[in-house]
């Protein structure tokens, strides 16, 4: 079995989780990670024994690592040359600049949701359009909210078809540990339609989607309410059966104590998941209601980790490790331990 060599550019919220995700894949090798300076994440990596080789994205910053006794294996450019594919988890806009480096060495790269769509050959989602990513050089992932939203809508669409969806996103304002948004006591409404609805239509052009987004002063996850119009009338029980079969969707009950985003974050920590991460979205069973043919439900989006499985899918598609959609996502799920709650 040929091991696909993978590098991660950017070792922040997403990058460190991508590194862990790749390291768990038995058919991939994590060559190393790169960052611009000795951030807290990099310092923690050193304190953990530096399980991943570290590269500097800014060569002149090597002295900053040296001063702290953090070994550096080389530059980002050197890391790129050693890899088959790079997962770019740098800040929005930086990935587009890094693309020139990836193209220089004819390497494949996968960008995150913060980059503009024109950075890539295809706007990618593992379940919804895996086939479009097969063999492509540059792929771009959807944002955390869009990733989870598409999982749920695609699940219904493949069973009975979906005509349209209307969504409301109750969006966490910042990640845990961030200070740049300030201390707030307010809700903020964005101009409609939200980009997540537009992005869904880019991935699933046959579905009419619109949506509203509300920023909330919390950090642990988003909640999305979805009002879907399926092409075939379905009951609540049928929808629950669809979701319950999906290894990246966890059905939870308010009656069991899953009252919202904080309950799920706490549960992830109780499970012993590193950083309290959850790869799956959660559907609140008691939120499912019918209105004529329409059906409504609410999902939880764990924003720090939800995109990791789709990034792994993107590697599989771009490198043609699996050319069948279900085979590709199944391999990712297996190594990430997805769907264990279904056993």
Q: Are 273 and 284 in contact (CB under 8 A)?
A: no
Question: What is the rounded CA–CA span in Å between residue 10 and residue 305?
Answer: 15
Binding-site members are 35
**What sign does the CA torsion over 215, 196, 247, 330 have?**
negative
Each residue's pLDDT tens digit, 255-285:
999 999 999 999 999 999 999 999 999 999 9
Query: What does the pLDDT average to over 240-245?
Result: 97
Question: What is the rounded CA–CA span in Å between residue 324 and residue 109?
Answer: 20
Cα-Cα end-to-end distance for the chain: 29
Residues forming a β-bridge with 83 = none
Neighbouring residues of 232: CB distance < 8 A, sequence distance ≥ 6: 160, 161
Each residue's pLDDT tens digit, 204-235:
999 999 999 999 988 888 999 999 999 999 99
pTM to 2 decimals? Answer: 0.95
Domains of the chain: 4-142+307-342 (3.40.50.720), 144-301 (3.30.360.10)
Q: Are 190 and 146 in contact (CB under 8 A)?
A: no
- Residue 63 pLDDT greater than 80, yes or no: yes
- Tell me if the bond preceding 88 is cis, omega within 30° of 0: no
Instruction: Provide Rg for the chain, Cα atoms.
Output: 20
Report the mean per-residue pLDDT for the chain: 95
Active site residue: 36, 144, 318, 336, which one? 144
In the residue annotation, 155 being an active-site residue is answered as no
User: Which of these ranges, 72-76, 178-182, 192-196, has the smallest mean pLDDT?
Assistant: 178-182
Each residue's pLDDT tens digit, 157-177:
999 999 999 999 998 887 787
Binding-site members for NAD(+) are 35
């Amino acid at each position: 079995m040929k091991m696909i060599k993978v590098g991660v550019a950017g070792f922040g919220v997403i990058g460190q989780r991508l590194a862990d995700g790749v390291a768990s894949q038995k058919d991939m090798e994590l060559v190393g990670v790169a960052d611009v300076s000795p951030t807290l994440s990099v310092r923690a990596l050193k304190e953990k024994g530096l399980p991943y080789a570290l590269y500097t994205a800014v060569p002149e910053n090597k002295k900053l690592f040296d001063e702290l006794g953090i070994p550096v294996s080389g530059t980002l450019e050197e890391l790129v040359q050693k890899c088959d594919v790079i997962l770019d988890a740098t800040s929005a806009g930086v990935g587009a600049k890094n693309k020139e480096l990836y193209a220089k060495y004819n390497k494949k790269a996968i960008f995150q949701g913060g980059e503009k769509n024109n950075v890539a050959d295809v706007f990618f989602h593992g379940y919804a359009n895996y086939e479009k990513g097969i063999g492509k050089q540059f792929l771009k992932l959807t944002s955390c909210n869009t990733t989870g939203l598409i999982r749920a809508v695609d699940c219904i669409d493949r069973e009975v078809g979906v005509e349209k969806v209307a969504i409301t996103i109750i969006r966490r304002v910042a990640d845990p540990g961030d200070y740049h948004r300030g201390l707030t006591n307010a809700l903020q409404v964005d101009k409609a339609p939200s980009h997540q609805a537009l992005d869904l239509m880019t991935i699933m052009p046959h579905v009419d989607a619109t949506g509203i987004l509300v920023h909330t002063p919390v950090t642990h996850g988003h909640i999305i309410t979805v009002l879907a119009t399926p092409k075939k009338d379905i009951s609540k029980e049928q929808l629950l059966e669809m979701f319950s079969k999906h290894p990246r969707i966890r059905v939870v009950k308010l009656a069991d104590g899953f009252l919202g985003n904080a309950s799920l974050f706490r549960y992830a920590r109780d499970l012993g998941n590193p950083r309290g991460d959850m790869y799956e979205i959660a559907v609140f069973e008691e939120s499912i209601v019918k209105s004529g043919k329409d059906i409504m439900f609410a999902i939880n989006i764990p924003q720090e980790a939800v995109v990791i499985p789709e990034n792994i899918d993107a590697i599989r598609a771009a490198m043609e490790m699996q050319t069948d959609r279900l085979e590709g996502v199944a391999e990712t799920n297996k190594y990430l331990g997805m769907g264990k709650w279904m056993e």
